[in-house]
């Protein structure tokens, strides 16, 4: 089932045939991210394995049935509820509203499953401006438990 926002349609890749078909586009996107982000060391094979083992979810965005980009996410469970973490996102096309529309869809998905937060981490300067527009706030969460000896 796809979720549509403006002209962007997003769906999760759930079967091996579709993953095999779309994988060259995803690999290209991961390699592009690695080139742009000098600190990124993500191997496409690690993402592929995560998707196949159901630890990661691959969300594909299309416009007019044409591949536009992807998000790789993971649902994580914490004591206060579910969190959706974006591992990576890539816009393959020229749609300047892709990130905003996709993020709005991800936000709606988070609300539907009762998630308490959406998170991502990036060292790219462009994401700082966009994240403020999307309502994200920078946070550092460190939990510490003292161990008595």
pTM metric for this prediction: 0.86
For the chain, what is the domain count?
A: 1
Pick 59 or 140 by higher pLDDT. 59
Q: Is 74 helix (H, G, I), strand (E, B) or coil?
A: strand
Identify whether 12 is part of a domain.
yes
Tokens of 44: 């496409």
Q: Which tens digit of pLDDT belongs to each residue from 1-27?
A: 789 999 999 999 999 999 999 999 999
d(CA 7, CA 148): 56
Beta bridge partners of residue 78, listed in sequence order: 81
Q: Which tens digit of pLDDT belongs to each residue from 109-147?
A: 999 999 999 988 776 676 777 777 888 877 776 565 567
Q: Are 120 and 88 in contact (CB under 8 A)?
A: no
pLDDT at position 132, please?
79
The whole domain housing 75 covers 3-133
Identify whether 141 is part of a domain.
no
Identify whether 139 is part of a domain.
no
Identify whether 138 is part of a domain.
no
Calculate what percentage of the chain has a pLDDT beyond 90.
Answer: 58
Check which CATH number belongs to the domain holding 99 and give it: 3.40.630.30
Identify whether 148 is part of a domain.
no
Identify whether 143 is part of a domain.
no
């Amino acid at each position: 089932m796809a979720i549509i926002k403006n002209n962007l349609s997003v769906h999760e890749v759930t079967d091996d045939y579709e993953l095999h078909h779309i994988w060259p586009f995803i690999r290209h996107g991961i390699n592009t991210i690695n080139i742009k982000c000098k600190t990124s060391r993500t191997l496409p094979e690690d993402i592929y394995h995560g998707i196949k083992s159901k630890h990661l979810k691959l969300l594909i965005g299309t416009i007019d049935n044409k591949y536009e980009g992807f998000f790789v996410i993971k649902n994580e469970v914490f004591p206060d509820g579910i969190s959706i973490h974006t591992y990576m996102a890539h816009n393959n096309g020229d749609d300047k509203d892709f990130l905003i529309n996709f993020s709005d869809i991800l936000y709606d998905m988070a609300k539907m499953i009762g998630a308490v937060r959406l998170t991502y981490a990036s060292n790219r300067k462009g994401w700082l401006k966009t994240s403020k527009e999307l309502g994200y706030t920078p946070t550092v969460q460190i939990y510490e438990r003292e161990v008595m000896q």
